[in-house]
Amino acid sequence: MSALLELSEVSVSIGRAALLERISLRLEPGHILGLVGESGSGKSLTAMAAMGLLPLIGGRVTGGTVRFDGQDIAAMTDGQRRALRGRRIGFVTQNPMTALDPVQRIGAQIDVVSRLHLGLSRQAARARTLDLLTQLRIPEAAAVAEAWPHQLSGGMKQRIVIAMALAGDPDLIVADEPTTALDVTVQAQIIQILGALVRERGLALLLITHDMGVVAQICDRVAVLYAGRLAEENAVDPIFAAPAHPYTRALIGCIPQEGMARGSLHGIPGAVPGALQFPPGCRFHPRCPQASALCRATVPPLTPHGAGIAACHHLSVEAR
């Protein structure tokens, strides 16, 4: 199957800081790709690059290509890129509290997306909005459409933001930590809804999250980023069952699980380095229990590993 979104060896800089280095990702229709890593690993920046939004934050692609449905987005005009976002790519942000315009009614904010991108009439747009709200299991959709953002709870607002992302009938949804600001019971609902959308509509979802539980629950493939580089990319089952990269292993080990004895949670020592202090060799080596002289000196290449790829000098041998 051909990829809907394909990043090949994309590098990104902001000012002097080289923040992403040769990131390659593929996302197919009907699939969910999870992008994981700690804060500062480059997850959000990768998403910005995928949507062609880097100029907004003063970033630029210094190498590689981003293709959407086979087209190089660097070769597009600004107008084409704008049409791409909203029409073919929907975006769901982390904070639903600030993603909505406080002085516009809910319905009007969703209507405008389909009127702009699908050219629908006022009435058709509203009908579509109500239909979307109902699909997102919002009770009394008509009443909610007439409400103001401040009248809604956080979980409800996030569903509205998802409705806005869907209103242009996109092929790809990019969701940046869509449930981080929400309570767990609400998070469960939203994740459920996102998963169902992908399966029912054949959408593709790029899901940025720090929550490995969410990744295990709905993702098909997982890309693990560390300090601007891809550490590992694989299907979800091997990522959790037999993580190849020590960083992936450490990330999973950070999550308290049922029946875990107290004292068995250790975290990852240290912190993600800033872009101007990236260490030489493997960037994870100062925090890695397996680091050797080779790791300190030489950048590990991305090598095939089972159904995926990983960049480590000490890949577990059995799966190679």
Q: Judged by CB, which is closer to another protein: 258, or 318? A: 258
Distance CA 280, CA 11 (A): 17
In DSSP notation, 89-106 reads EEEE-S-HHHHS-TTS-H
Q: Judged by CB, which is closer to another protein: 254, or 297? A: 254
For residue 24, the minimal CB distance to another protein (Å) is: 23
Distance CA 42, CA 44 (A): 6
**Using CB under 8 A as the criterion, which residues of the chain lie in contact with another protein when the complex forms?**
38-39, 137, 153-154, 156, 183-189, 191-192, 210-218, 236-237, 240-241, 250-260, 262-263, 265-269, 271
Q: Judged by CB, which is closer to another protein: 17, or 254? A: 254
Distance CA 40, CA 220 (A): 24
Q: Judged by CB, which is closer to another protein: 77, or 185? A: 185
- Helix, strand, coil percentages for the chain (3-state, nearest 5): 40, 20, 35
For residue 235, the minimal CB distance to another protein (Å) is: 9
- The arrangement of strands across the sheet holding 221-226 comes to 89-92, 172-176, 204-208, 32-36, 221-226, 229-235, 308-310, 303-305
Q: Judged by CB, which is closer to another protein: 55, or 274? A: 274
Locate 160 and state its tokens: 């509205």
For residue 199, the minimal CB distance to another protein (Å) is: 12
For residue 263, the minimal CB distance to another protein (Å) is: 6
For residue 233, the minimal CB distance to another protein (Å) is: 15
